[in-house]
Amino acid sequence: MGLIKSGWQSKNTEKALKSVKQLKDQAILAEAAKNAKASDVRKAAVGRLLDQDALAYVVKNDDDMWVKTAALEKLTDQSILADFAKNGKEDYIRLDAAKALTDKELAQEFFADMAKTCENDSYRIAAAKKLNNKTLANECLAAVVKNSGSALYSREALAEITDKTLINKLCSLVDKKQKENDAYNREHNSMPLKCPNCNGVVKIVNQFNMNMIYENYDKNNSGLCPSCGYKYIQ
């Protein structure tokens, strides 16, 4: 005979969830949070888990972002939170851990480090926005504007800078990046929007965002093909 499995181990996710919602034993909840196959079941177990070491294990080792975030939100141990703010593998874990610290001076140190070292520019911007030192915040945001490979993030960082002199210096750089980005998209991501009646080209659009129009031969936006007059927009 095989070993009797706990309800949270069921292959049926609904049954496993129902079982987890009835659990009170913290050791069993910890086991479910760490080892349940379905992410929904692990997340449900995390929601009932209080053990700080077990929650930290989930934050560190789970491969699902939402499970990790749910576990982090349950953490109150300040030493564990500080460790994640300093050494977390993912930018979003570092940032959320720093936000949860009760020692706000320590949190500011972590925000300053993240504003310079996060791999993702969006998290560098988010960390810079949390800084009380606006001079340092502006410096970190300016670094994103200059060094980001994304015109979107450069423009987002520029919008958060409060130093007008710095803004004026960086505006032309952001505009240049935007033009380069638009040119790249047009070269690599453009496609013709054709009339279904005559197969004539009506517009040149971005294949991933058809609202991004590079050339519009329907000058009046009438919805009529300029070649045959067919109403290509139904």
Residue 98 confidence (pLDDT) above 80: yes
At 2 the pLDDT is 36
Which residues have a Cβ under 8 Å from the Cβ of 215 and sit 6 or more positions away? 203, 204
Give every strand in the sheet of 190-194, ordered side by side.
190-194, 201-206, 213-216
Burial (CB count <10 Å: 0-12, 13-18, 19+), residue 105: exposed
Give me 220's structure tokens.
Answer: 């009046």
Burial (CB count <10 Å: 0-12, 13-18, 19+), residue 2: exposed
pLDDT tens-digit readout, 124-153: 999 999 999 999 999 999 999 999 988 889
Burial code (b: 16+ CB inside 10 Å, e: under 16) for 187-219 equals: eeeeeebebeeeeebbbbbbeeeeeeeeeeebe
Q: How confident is the model at residue 234 (pLDDT cuts 50, 70, 90)?
A: low
Residue 197 confidence (pLDDT) above 80: yes
